[in-house]
């Protein structure tokens, strides 16, 4: 049994992605999604289609500004079970996960990129920076992990229930949003980006559909934002934003250095372009030489 633990604080932008929930679900057959929130009534529909049984713990005073109280609530909730507790590999996820692990006196294994669930243990791989090695740990009993894995969001029905939690109204810290906090592209785990190879602004509609399926954010090259097919805030590259997602899908982008400077640190790059000599293929883990629009349509049907 495993629990995926998330926070939905309406006053903060530090929420978990559905793609991570989908990725965790693909690994654990018995999974419960626990959501600590201050606006449960807004969340029923979102999780009713997540395919994972979800329990929303509601208190209007809840805030992740109080990390200690959040961890204390989780400790009291989970102390008598003997399971794996999973958080997203984000700064907030890791802060609460570490506190919970310390309270439970169990291992905390952060930044896991691959999970194998065996009969007696869970094998966890963590990439060691830019090396060619991974650290392999085996969780034999109760433990806390944080994961950087992504799945495809399936629209499957799931049971959603709501329970009260009691949180005091104290706030030991204030939260100040970063200037660019509103730009999803900067924080997305998956980015789907399009270039002039998508032909016209209409070509971005299927890309947005694909992004919806992958819980991804849509990016573009400067050439695309210059002609107004997408707003400038979506521009990736030397004149725009730099992104470092887990997965970067590049459609109809040749890969000029002005663009790749903003995405070449992505963990996995998948490229589609009609030109087999396009520089983007040098960066790609996987690529398809072919029409990007055609590939996007096929991907929408396949994932």
Partner 1 sequence: MKIATIVKSELTDPKTYTTHRTKVFYHPEKLFLSDSDKAAVELAVKIAGNNGQVDLFTLEQGEVGVRVLHEALAMGAASATEFVGSDPNDPANAYLAAEKVSEYLKDQGYDLILVGDVVGSAPIAAYLAENLGFNLYENVTRLSPNWEYETELDRGQLKGKVQTPAVLTVEANAIEPELPSFPALEAAQKQTIKSVALNLDTEEASEVVVNQTQHPHVIWNLDEEPDAVEKLVAALRQDGIMK
Cα 80 → chain centroid: 29
Name the residue with tokens 């109760």: 142
Contacts to partner 1 from residues 129-148, by CB under 8 A: 129-140
Rule CB under 8 A: choose which of 119, 155, 157, 176 binds partner 1. 176
Contacts to partner 1 from residues 16-45, by CB under 8 A: 22-23, 25-27
Q: Is residue 169 close enough to count as binding partner 1 by CB under 8 A?
A: no
Question: Is 253 assigned a ligand-binding role in the annotation?
Answer: yes
Cα separation, 11 vs 142, in Å, equals 32
Question: Is 256 assigned a ligand-binding role in the annotation?
Answer: yes
**What letter does residue 17 receive in the DSSP assignment?**
P
Q: Is residue 298 close enough to count as binding partner 1 by CB under 8 A?
A: yes
Question: Is 254 assigned a ligand-binding role in the annotation?
Answer: yes
Name the residue with tokens 């994932």: 303
- Between the CA atoms of 89, 91, 96 and 98, what dihedral angle is there, to the nearest 10 degrees? 70
Length of the chain (residues): 303
**What letter does residue 240 receive in the DSSP assignment?**
S
The two beta strands, 114-117 and 122-127, are: antiparallel
Cα separation, 32 vs 59, in Å, equals 20
Contacts to partner 1 from residues 239-258, by CB under 8 A: 246-247
Cα 11 → chain centroid: 19
**What letter does residue 295 receive in the DSSP assignment?**
H
- Residue span 40-79 as binding mask against partner 1, x where in contact by CB under 8 A, dash where not: -------------------------x-xx-----------
Contacts to partner 1 from residues 94-123, by CB under 8 A: 94-95, 98-99, 101-103, 105-111, 113-114
Question: Is 38 assigned a ligand-binding role in the annotation?
Answer: no
Q: Is residue 218 close enough to count as binding partner 1 by CB under 8 A?
A: no
Q: Is residue 178 close enough to count as binding partner 1 by CB under 8 A?
A: yes
Rule CB under 8 A: choose which of 29, 45, 80, 91 binds partner 1. 91
Considering only 39-47, 50-58, 125-133, 194-202, which stretch makes contact with partner 1 by CB under 8 A? Answer: 125-133
Binding site for FAD: which residues? 252-259, 273
């Amino acid at each position: 049994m495993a629990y995926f633990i998330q926070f939905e604080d309406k006053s903060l932008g530090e929420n978990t992605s559905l793609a991570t929930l989908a990725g965790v679900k693909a690994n654990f057959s018995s999974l419960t999604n626990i959501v600590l929130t201050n606006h449960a009534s807004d969340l029923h529909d979102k999780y009713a289609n997540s395919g994972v049984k979800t329990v929303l713990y509601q208190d209007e005073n809840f805030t992740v500004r109080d990390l200690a109280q959040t961890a204390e609530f989780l400790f009291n909730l989970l102390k008598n079970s003997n399971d794996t507790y999973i958080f997203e590999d984000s700064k907030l996820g890791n802060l609460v996960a570490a506190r919970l692990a310390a309270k439970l006196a169990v291992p905390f294994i952060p930044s896991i990129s691959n999970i194998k669930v065996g009969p007696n243990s869970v094998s966890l791989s963590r990439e060691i920076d830019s090396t060619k090695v991974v650290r392999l740990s085996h969780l034999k009993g109760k433990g806390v992990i944080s994961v950087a894995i992504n799945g495809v969001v399936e629209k499957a029905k799931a049971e959603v229930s709501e329970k009260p939690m009691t949180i005091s109204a104290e706030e030991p810290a204030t939260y100040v949003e970063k200037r660019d906090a509103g730009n999803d592209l900067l924080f997305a785990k998956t980015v789907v980006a399009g270039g002039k190879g998508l032909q016209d602004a209409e070509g971005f509609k299927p890309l947005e559909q694909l992004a919806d399926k992958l819980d991804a954010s849509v990016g573009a090259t400067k050439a695309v934002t210059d002609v107004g097919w997408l707003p400038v805030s979506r521009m990736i590259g030397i004149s725009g934003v730099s992104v470092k997602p887990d997965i970067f899908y590049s459609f109809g982008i040749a890969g000029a250095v002005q663009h790749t400077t903003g995405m070449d640190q992505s963990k996995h790059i998948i490229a589609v372009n009609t030109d087999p000599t396009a520089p983007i293929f040098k960066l790609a883990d996987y690529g398809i030489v072919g029409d990007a629009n055609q590939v996007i349509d096929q991907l929408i049907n396949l994932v």
